[in-house]
Structure 1
Amino acid sequence: MPAPDLAPVPKHITGFSNPTVKYLRALRDKKNRKRAGQFLVEGLRLLEDARSVGRIPQMLVMAESNERAATGHAVLARLVDAVSEAGGEIITTTPDILAKITGKENAQSVAGVFDEWDTGLARLERNAAPIWLVAQALRDPGNLGTMLRTGDAVGAGGLILIDDCADPFSAEAVRASMGAIFTVPVAQARWEAFLPWLRSGPGQLVAASLRKAVPYRGAPYAAPCFVLVGNESQGLPEAYEAACDLRVTMPMRGRADSLNAAVAGAVLAYEVLATLGA
């Protein structure tokens, strides 16, 4: 008689100096994330969003109270089963150690470690959607996460990060994306690589701009439309704007001279969708 399949016994960690704890804490730093090719995600909702689209963590870390609750919590139980079936590692620890790992005093009671994925332009299919989001030198991880969330909301083909942007796999960006890091393809490239890629096929590049721009409403958008926003404080370099097919501006009725970069991208994206009838 074959032996029954047994779920792996969770590894229990009680010491702050444990090598696994040190490794997980190190993933809060971009340099260490890139070296390891992994990133940390905190919270059951984000982990369930990942599981629902087939992204399973390589490691699941739970506070002891959550381990006891797993049998009675359907979402957590599904996650534990998925990690076990994928051959991942399940770890239990104390709430204090989990807080140390995540760097948050009021840490949620579950976290997961995922492998980073390919963010090259070559994996994108430009005809997959009528609209794409592009951000140049976006430095705020919160803005980056918000653009990912916008991309999910408008059904964008993906978010393309140009030049030196915040890390999309940072804890702040992942949290701000509200799970969209798992549903919206992300690519990273220098401008010198992005522009030839864009011009190698169909694609209209539209910049939110103040230079020789037309009103954003009623502008002649065309699919696939790549909506480009610039750095939070400096905007887009003039040469980048000159390379765009269309430059549009949004009216400022108050004292502010511009919108937040992520907000501008969202407003423009919905106008593009309305024009395209998408």
Structure 2
Amino acid sequence: MPREITGFSNPLIKRVRSLREKKHRKREGHFLAEGLRILTEAEQAGHLPVLLFYAAESADHPIVRRLIAATEANGGEVIETIPDILHKLSGKENPQTVIGVYPDQLTPLAALDRSKSDIWLVVQSMRDPGNLGTILRTGDAVGAGGVIMIDDCVDPFSVEAVRASMGALFTQSITTARWEEFMEWLRSGPGQLVGTSLNTTHDYQGPRYDSPTFLLVGNEAKGLPLDYEQSCDLLVKIPMLGKADSLNAAVATAVMAYEILNQKRDRG
């Protein structure tokens, strides 16, 4: 049975609101997800919140009712509240109908099964949460095995990254690693490391990509470090016919991922 919280000073409200900050997410091991679409995607991927907040006026919505029942059946707690508290939790002027609290979804590098997919996405020092969220969506779209985050990347569980992923956060395995650790793991089994770079003459549609392909994309502003490029099996670039010298990192990842996917589909 849902309990009701309408007071802004409630300790649970304060604790959940603190999850908007990275240090508190790290301490608690939980993060926020908002909206019926994202929470439904999570449910379909087998993830239910440990805490579910909803506005009283949305209680009759069929999806809200289903989420309430599923969360309670799974041992989670359901909280009925008011829109102003949902606004306080989300930080948005027009808060979503529901907000869920979920445990972190990180997968250890050693636990990855590289045979799970022909495509893996690897991002290095990615700083923009919108880019990372979009890359997670791309990974879901092309059936990637997951996203491996190298070095100091943006927090994938930030409110902004979760929003941008549109639920793909729950369908993709997410792994963090240092470069040396990743390379040691990568070279312990099959896998072609393909880097995107301006320092090459290889057009991205020219090579034949091996399976599994690990697509490496660098920092939005600086690209890949030179020594990282030198460690790649192959460097490719996307032709730029206008004045810009490169695409947005998330867009470039999507273009590359679909080229790799299409090659593998053609072979199939």
Shared fold (TM-score greater than 0.5)?
Answer: yes
Q: Are 2:152 and 1:160 aligned?
A: no
Instruction: Tell me which residue corresponds to 1:37.
Output: 29
The one-letter code of the counterpart of 1:202 is: P
Q: Are 2:51 and 1:59 aligned?
A: yes
Instruction: Tell me which residue corresponds to 1:47.
Output: 39
Local SS of the residue matching 1:212: coil
Partner of residue 188 from structure 1, selected from 156, 159, 176: 176
Pairing of 1:176-255 with structure 2 (within 5 A): 176-255=164-243
Q: 1:58, 1:89 within 8 Å by CA — same for their partners in 2?
A: yes
Q: Are 2:164 and 1:172 aligned?
A: no
Instruction: Tell me which residue corresponds to 1:275.
Output: 263
TM-superposed deviation, 1:220: 2.3
The structure with more radius of gyration: 1
Q: Are 2:9 and 1:21 aligned?
A: no
Q: 1:141, 1:166 within 8 Å by CA — same for their partners in 2?
A: yes
TM-superposed deviation, 1:114: 0.5
The one-letter code of the counterpart of 1:175 is: R
TM-superposed deviation, 1:95: 0.6
- Structure 2: distance between partners of 1:58 and 1:244: 41
Partner of residue 77 from structure 2, selected from 80, 85, 89: 89
TM-superposed deviation, 1:192: 1.2
Local SS of the residue matching 2:224: coil
Partner of residue 127 from structure 2, selected from 139, 158, 173: 139
- Structure 1: distance between partners of 2:223 and 2:17: 34
- Structure 1: distance between partners of 2:68 and 2:6: 20
- Structure 2: distance between partners of 1:87 and 1:216: 48
TM-superposed deviation, 1:107: 0.3
Q: Are 2:137 and 1:149 aligned?
A: yes
Q: 2:30, 2:101 within 8 Å by CA — same for their partners in 1?
A: yes
TM-superposed deviation, 1:87: 1.4
Deviations 1:151-206 (A, max 9, x none): 00100011110001111111111111111001011111110110000000000000
- Structure 2: distance between partners of 1:32 and 1:202: 38
Instruction: Tell me which residue corresponds to 1:4.
Output: none
Deviations 1:42-85 (A, max 9, x none): 10111111111110100100112123x2xxx3222211111110
TM-superposed deviation, 1:245: 0.1
The one-letter code of the counterpart of 2:33 is: V
Aligned residues: 266
Instruction: Tell me which residue corresponds to 1:108.
Output: 96
Task: Provide the aligned C-alpha RMSD in A.
Answer: 1.0
Runs of 4+ in 1 over 6 A off after TM superposition: none
Q: 1:232, 1:261 within 8 Å by CA — same for their partners in 2?
A: yes
Local SS of the residue matching 1:188: strand
Q: 1:137, 1:164 within 8 Å by CA — same for their partners in 2?
A: yes
Deviations 1:203-243 (A, max 9, x none): 00000111234111121210100011000000000000000
- Structure 2: distance between partners of 1:276 and 1:86: 39
Pairing of 1:118-133 with structure 2 (within 5 A): 118-133=106-121
What TM-score, normalized by structure 1, do the two folds share? 0.93
Instruction: Tell me which residue corresponds to 2:3.
Output: 11
Local SS of the residue matching 1:228: strand
Q: 1:218, 1:275 within 8 Å by CA — same for their partners in 2?
A: no
Q: 2:106, 2:173 within 8 Å by CA — same for their partners in 1?
A: no
Local SS of the residue matching 1:214: coil
The one-letter code of the counterpart of 1:252 is: M
